[in-house]
Amino acid sequence: MTKFDLVVKGGTIATASDIFKADIGILDGKIVQIGEQLDGGAQTIDASGKYVLPGGIDSHVHISQPSGDGIVMADDFESGTRSALFGGNTTIMPFCLQEKDRPMREALNAYHELAEGNCYTDVSFHLIVSDPTDSLFGQELPALAADGYSSFKVFMTYEGLRLNDAEILKTLDVARSTGATVMVHCENEDAIRFLIARHEAEGDVAPRAHASTRPVAVEREATHRALTLAEIVDVPVVIVHVSNGEAMEEIARARSRGIKVVGETCPQYLMLTADDLDGMDWEGAKFVCSPPPRDKAAQEECWRGIETGIFDLFSSDHCPFRYDDERGKRSPKGLESFRHIPNGIPGVETRLPILFSEGVMKGRIDLPRFVALSATNHAKTYGLYPEKGTISIGADADIAIWDPTIKRTIRHADLHDGADYSPYEGIEITGWPTTVILGGRLMVRDGALVGKKGDGTYRSARAKSTKTI
Ligand SMILES: [Zn+2]
């Protein structure tokens, strides 16, 4: 008798709290039974010898974001979600950028149109606040939060994007009254501009100068300020892409004062250093992202943060630009000075294999911690839990089956994004997701794409009153 659409049999399941052997019965896109010896699946997947984990959620991904001045992002929703899927993800959260003098709703409608019918994973959106008008704070954001757009991103850096402290306070205040979550990119723009002017005056314009104009102090000060502003408004805050121990200390100190802070770090701060920005023929541009990668000591500090709980989220900050392309890293202006090189690197597909291989297989973290950092905490932070981010009765059947015996070298040629390089080229990886299930539907089976564009859909996110983190 057929009881299930799909049964995943014989695998080792891990959630953010437990590891156990069981079968999973899936019906109508949901997990309906977890137990031993489940039979009666219209389709059965043998997962013996494999890990059965919640599909990854990458809550920090940039796709089809307007990047100004002839620069074009390398991924649209099709290539970005396809790449995410092959990296073991079932949900990603890209950013909708409000354009100046235009309503947020207009940007959002356009963004929905780009995503509709083109996704291989589910998607949910963050809203970037870039035109901080009274009507945005008074009417638009509260209405949007109620409609399921319950996280706002603010930038303390980037010309045209940065908000001043007063504007950040207003954004935090809207979050407090609506239950939305605010993500803050912490770098001191005025200090960066000062250092850029000094470097350019000295003729130091190569990609490496990107790192020296954004030193740790720039990030540490802004992190402290963002946490102070959140403390004044009395609202939780997410500090994104933390790159070093000094910014981590600010998070720890804020928590000791009772401030609710969610901390995020990314693969580039574990695997890259500022030395990667040196490189022949402008190749350092491949590693230009903000905050910049630091040094070996900072990598170890970030690992410590992953192990000890300073970090709740491990995200890619996938922000892809092609390297050998006039619309990307080698844009005509970008070749004049590091200042014009588009900021951001690809990584949505390699995020989880890197954390699995370097973290779990090397004994730094256990599987439940891996699941928390890669899926569960993202769902909890952004209002998608418990439908997303865990393996439990009633949850969406979003599952990644990992083979811990696979050994692979990262090669961009094997990846599925729209960029033309990977910053992680050549890194040896143990363990890879071989089968990915989205809402009960097989999307990747034994490494081959079997799902189709449009199988992934938009998911709204609840505001904080029903959240659990
Ligand atoms: Zn980002």
Phi, psi dihedrals of residue 341, rounded to the nearest 5°: -70, 125
> Residue 467: is its pLDDT beyond 50?
no
How many angstroms is it from 62 CA to the middle of ligand 1? 6
Between the CA of 337 and the centroid of ligand 1 the distance, in Å, is 22
pLDDT band (50, 70, 90) for residue 185: very high
Ligand 1 centroid, distance to 241 Cα (angstroms): 8
Share of the chain above pLDDT 90, in %: 93
Please classify residue 17 by burial: count the beta carbons closer than 10 Å to its beta carbon, then call 0-12 exposed, 13-18 middle and 19+ buried: exposed
Dist. CA 27 → ligand 1 center (Å): 36
Alpha carbon of 94 to ligand 1 centroid (Å): 9
Q: Band of the pLDDT at 468, cuts 50, 70, 90?
A: very low
Residue 467's SS3 state is coil
pTM summary value: 0.97
Cis peptide bond upstream of 386, omega within 30: yes
Instruction: Say how many Å lie between the CA of residue 416 and the centre of ligand 1.
Output: 20
- Residues 457, 455: Cα–Cα separation, whole Å: 6
Beta bridge pairs of residue 265:
314
Tell me, what amino acid is at 469? Answer: I
CA of 139 to the centre of ligand 1 (A): 26
Averaged pLDDT, 207-219: 97
Distance 288 CA to ligand 1 centre (A): 12
Task: For residue 31, report the distance from its CA to the centre of ligand 1, in Å.
Answer: 32
Residue 466 near residue 427 (C-beta atoms within 8 A)? no
From the CA of 317, how far away is ligand 1's center (Å)?
5
- Rounded to the nearest angstrom, the distance between the alpha carbon of 48 and the centre of ligand 1 is 37
Q: Share the mean pLDDT of the chain.
A: 96
What is the CA(323)–ligand 1 centre distance, in A?
Answer: 18
Ligand 1 geometric centre to CA of 393 (Å)? 33
**Gap between the Cα atoms of 390 and 16, Å rounded:** 7
Q: How far is the CA of 2 from the centre of ligand 1 (A)?
A: 45
Write the pLDDT tens digit of every residue in 265-295.
999 999 999 999 997 778 999 999 999 999 9
CA of 50 to the centre of ligand 1 (A): 32
Render pLDDT for 369-416 as a digit per residue (tens, 0 to 9). Answer: 999 999 999 999 999 999 999 999 999 999 999 999 999 999 999 999
User: Is 466's pLDDT higher than 50?
Assistant: no
Omega within 30 of 0 (cis) for the link into 66: no
Pairing of strands 122-123, 448-449: unpaired
Distance 290 CA to ligand 1 centre (A): 8
Residues in the chain, total: 469
Distances (CA, A) of 80 to 77, 318, 319, 368: 5, 9, 10, 27
Domains by residue range for the chain, with CATH: 4-53+386-449 (2.30.40.10), 55-369 (3.20.20.140)
Buried b (16+ CB within 10 A) or exposed e, 244-258: bbbbbebbeebeeee
Measured CA to CA, the distance from residue 204 to residue 197 in angstroms comes to 10
d(CA 39, CA 3): 8
Report how far residue 174's alpha carbon sits from residue 309's, in angstroms, rounded to the nearest whole number.
Answer: 28
Q: How far is the CA of 90 from the centre of ligand 1 (A)?
A: 19
- Give the helix/strand (H/E) hosting 380: helix 377-381
| CA 345 to ligand 1 center in whole angstroms | 9
Q: Residues near 365 by Cβ (< 8 Å), separated by ≥ 6?
A: 306, 307, 355, 359, 373
Res. 469: pLDDT tops 80: no
Residue that the structure tokens 């920005």 belong to: 277
Check: CB of residue 152 under 8 Å from CB of residue 182: yes
CA distance 10 to 367: 17
The Cα angle at residue 182 between residues 177 and 188, in degrees rounded to 5: 130
d(CA 75, CA 235): 34
